Amino acid sequence: MAATRRPLTLAAAVATACALGATALALPALAADGDKAAPPKLELKDGTLDWGVKESFRKYVTGIAMGSIEATDGAKQAPDNGVFTFTDGKGTYDPGPTHATSVGFKGNVRFLSKAHAFDIKIADVKVVTEGKGGAIQADVTLNGATQNDIDLAKLDLSTIKPGQGEGGAMTFKDIPATLTADGAKAFNGMYKEGEKLDPATLTVKAGAAPTEEPTADPTGSPEPTGSAKPTADPTGSAKPTADPTGSAKPTSGTERPADKIAEGSLSWGLKESFRTYISTGGDATVAGGAKKVSSGYTFPYAKADVDSDAKKIDASFGGSVRFAYKAHGIDMKFSDIKVKANGAKGTLLVDVTTPQGTNNDVEFATLDLSKVSYEAKNDVVLLDKVPATLTEPGAKQFANRGTRPYEPGEKLDPVTVALGGDLPSDDGKTGNDPTASTGTGTTGSGSVGGGGSAGGDTGGSLASTGASIPSTALLGTAGVAMAAGAAAVVVARRRRGGPETA
């Protein structure tokens, strides 16, 4: 049986740098299991931690929240509302069985908004690691109440490769970070546990070697082993597969495009983090046949023109959702949603109504249709979980008091469109989705999104999440049959080389 290679860890790299006097970066074997005496801890010094907490939250604070950000006592912020650098890091590495590291930094960061009534201070920042995992710890004060030494962010070191910095420093760049449960409380529930935060970059130097004799010599060549070497294809799932994936691909030659479009639905949450932000003090109401579901909203079918041969869809959906947060000056209604698809690209258009008036047919999002199939499966054309990206006109809709917390390119929730005959629901039956709520109501809890803006990632503007909706839920919500009047709206698929049929 082939030997299992050890995964790369920050601890292994630190151990090597210390053992070699910080003159090289390598991945030695871990200390021998039979060592009897615990080796002394090794000193780490001159550390820095570059971490922006959450880019969209910074934009929200200085944008729609009309607040300020202060970096003091050894912390500094990069220009243009950039990331924070915590300085003068000191700590230890334990070469014993735990291989644990702990590095503390100087600096405080304070997020303050009188308009939105929050005052959040992050202080006494530490990075602790053990094996492939770790955490960013801190004292966090929310509106005068302090949580000491909480795990604010969880770190994933499983894929991080060390680099060489100035003066023999070790650099661990862009460590993935996610919000912990205690961190979510510290942000007053604006974000939920597991929310993606800004990546962190840690830089440390090895201090003086211990006077005691090391427990073991560095093993063999200092060449990295195992996962330290990049794979041949570093792009992973980001690289398109040869064939379209998922249920959108026909599974047999007997399947054919839908002859008639009698009903359908569009499932979209706009932005999960934005919904969460609104739920902290406002509400979201649906009308006109739109319904709330756990992943966002479903909008009823109005009309559609599908040409599977030409890979074109022009579909319209009814209903509306209105987001109101009076204390923060937000009142936005989204209605008359349209999807125009042509091959690998598409556009989502909406009417956006605010107290200033209505902007009709705003090209709100671009759609990436490169992995969908326009062919019908069981008489249903399904565009499943299509990635959506905010456009320049879409970003303008969130401008408030001269600021625009979201910029073009911001990730929105994915869009699912189902068009065909009688569409299936979660229980395999046709007709209305039994899980969808009806009438109007407030948004349910969700997570504030990743690199976006506002509300934490919302803050009155979209917070980015990149949230993924389970396929089963999408199929169910997409299967909401708009029975009332649906039979009266029948659009024929254009057949290549033949007349349109009704």
Q: Are residues 461 and 322 in the same domain?
A: yes
Q: Are residues 416 and 339 in the same domain?
A: yes
Q: Are residues 274 and 165 in the same domain?
A: no
pLDDT at residue 93, rounded to an integer: 85
| Domain membership flag for residue 140 | yes
* Lowest-pLDDT range of 145-154, 157-166, 379-388, 460-469: 460-469
Q: Which of 150, 178, 208 is the last residue of a domain?
A: 208
* Lowest-pLDDT range of 68-72, 298-302, 396-400, 474-478: 474-478
Q: Which of 192, 208, 224 is the last residue of a domain?
A: 208
Query: Per-residue pLDDT tens for 258-297?
Result: 446 768 899 999 988 888 888 888 899 999 999 999 889 9
Given pLDDT bands bounded at 50, 70 and 90, which one contains residue 5? very low
The closest alpha carbon to 130, from 104, 159, 99, 160, belongs to 99
| Domain membership flag for residue 244 | no
Given pLDDT bands bounded at 50, 70 and 90, which one contains residue 378? confident
Our CA angle for 473, 477, 483, nearest 5°, is 155
Distances (CA, A) of 192 to 41, 179, 189, 465: 36, 7, 6, 11
| Domain membership flag for residue 471 | yes
What's the mean pLDDT in 47-75? 94
Q: Are residues 32 and 154 in the same domain?
A: yes
Query: Per-residue pLDDT tens for 201-230?
Result: 999 988 765 544 444 444 444 444 444 444
Contact between 412 and 462 under an 8 Å Cβ cutoff? The reply is yes
d(CA 73, CA 255): 66
What does pTM read for this prediction? 0.45
Given pLDDT bands bounded at 50, 70 and 90, which one contains residue 131? confident
| Domain membership flag for residue 222 | no
Residue 269 belongs to domain spanning: 257-492
Q: Are residues 204 and 268 in the same domain?
A: no
- Kindly give the pairing relationship between strand 133-142 and strand 145-156: antiparallel
pLDDT at residue 28, rounded to an integer: 29
Q: Are residues 201 and 337 in the same domain?
A: no
Given pLDDT bands bounded at 50, 70 and 90, which one contains residue 106? very high
Give the chain's domain count.
Answer: 2
| Domain membership flag for residue 251 | no
Given pLDDT bands bounded at 50, 70 and 90, which one contains residue 18? low
Our CA angle for 284, 290, 292, nearest 5°, is 55
The beta-carbon contacts of 71-80 under 8 Å, at least 24 apart in sequence, are 71/107, 71/108, 71/109, 72/107, 72/108, 72/109, 72/110, 73/106, 73/107, 73/108, 73/123, 74/105, 74/106, 74/107, 74/108, 75/105, 75/106, 75/107, 75/108, 75/109, 76/107, 77/109
pLDDT at residue 469, rounded to an integer: 29
A 10 A CB-CB count for 266 gives: 29
| Domain membership flag for residue 261 | yes
Residue matched to tokens 């359908």: 264
Contact between 378 and 450 under an 8 Å Cβ cutoff? The reply is no
Q: Are residues 160 and 64 in the same domain?
A: yes
Q: Are residues 18 and 152 in the same domain?
A: yes
Query: Per-residue pLDDT tens for 300-337?
Result: 999 999 888 899 999 999 999 999 988 888 899 999 99
Q: Are residues 341 and 398 in the same domain?
A: yes
Write the secondary structure of 481-501 as one string of H (helix), E (strand) and C (coil).
Answer: CCCCCHHHCCEECCCCCCCCC
| Domain membership flag for residue 245 | no
pLDDT at residue 232, rounded to an integer: 44
Q: Are residues 200 and 308 in the same domain?
A: no
Mean pLDDT of the chain: 73
Q: Which of 146, 175, 208 is the last residue of a domain?
A: 208
| Domain membership flag for residue 119 | yes
pLDDT reading at 392 higher than 90 = yes
Q: Are residues 193 and 307 in the same domain?
A: no
* Lowest-pLDDT range of 33-47, 140-154, 170-184, 236-250: 236-250
pLDDT at residue 424, rounded to an integer: 45
Concatenating the DSSP letter of every residue in 121-174 gives: EEEEEEEEEETTEEEEEEEEEETTEEEEEEEEEEEE-TT---EE-GGG-EEEEE
Q: Are residues 261 and 204 in the same domain?
A: no
* CA-based torsion, 7, 9, 14, 17: positive or negative: positive
